[in-house]
Structure 1
Amino acid sequence: MWTINHFPSAMRSLSPSTRAKAIEIANHLLEQGRLDKQNVVSISVDQARRWARYEREWPITNGQLYA
């Protein structure tokens, strides 16, 4: 399991919030045990970047969706 203080070097360039999401995704994938670590890291970084783009385009503030 990875943490905000212990994570793969491929996540180093991500912003702190995107890295936290990548760690969350990676840990979930590791729990499933279907993929090797290299694939887990690649998938989690890609998905976290997508999440970050979505958050920038469709921010939610106080339960309200703003575009």
Structure 2
Amino acid sequence: MDWTFEDFKTDLDSLNPTVREKALEIANELMKEGKFTEKEAITEAIKQSEEWFYDLEG
């Protein structure tokens, strides 16, 4: 099941589209693991996706 995280739309809207896509991908994986609530998953996913993006940029 893919989560849509509609309650966190404003958190996601402020992100670069590439980072937002990666954040949703990470959040869905975190939710599948079952160790995070939606809020925790999206918060962690945003953090990880921003780190991922900065690593890409060098």
Asked if these proteins are the same fold (TM beyond 0.5), I'd say: yes
* Bigger fraction of residues in strand: 1
Contact 1:26 1:44 in 2 (8 A): yes
Structure having the higher Rg: 1
Q: Which consecutive residues of structure 2, in runs of 5 or more, have no partner in the other structure?
A: none
* Bigger fraction of residues in helix: 2
Identity over aligned residues, as a percent? 25
Q: 1:1-67, aligned counterparts within 5 Å?
A: 1-2=3-4, 8-9=8-9, 10-57=11-58
Deviations 1:18-59 (CA, angstroms, capped at 9, x unpaired) = 0000000000001111111111011000000000100111xx
Q: How big is the alpha-carbon RMSD for the aligned residues of Structure 1 and Structure 2?
A: 1.7
Counterpart code for 1:2: T
Q: 1:21 to 1:7 in 2, by over 3 A?
A: farther
Q: How many residue pairs get matched?
A: 55
Shift >4 Å, 4+ stretches: none
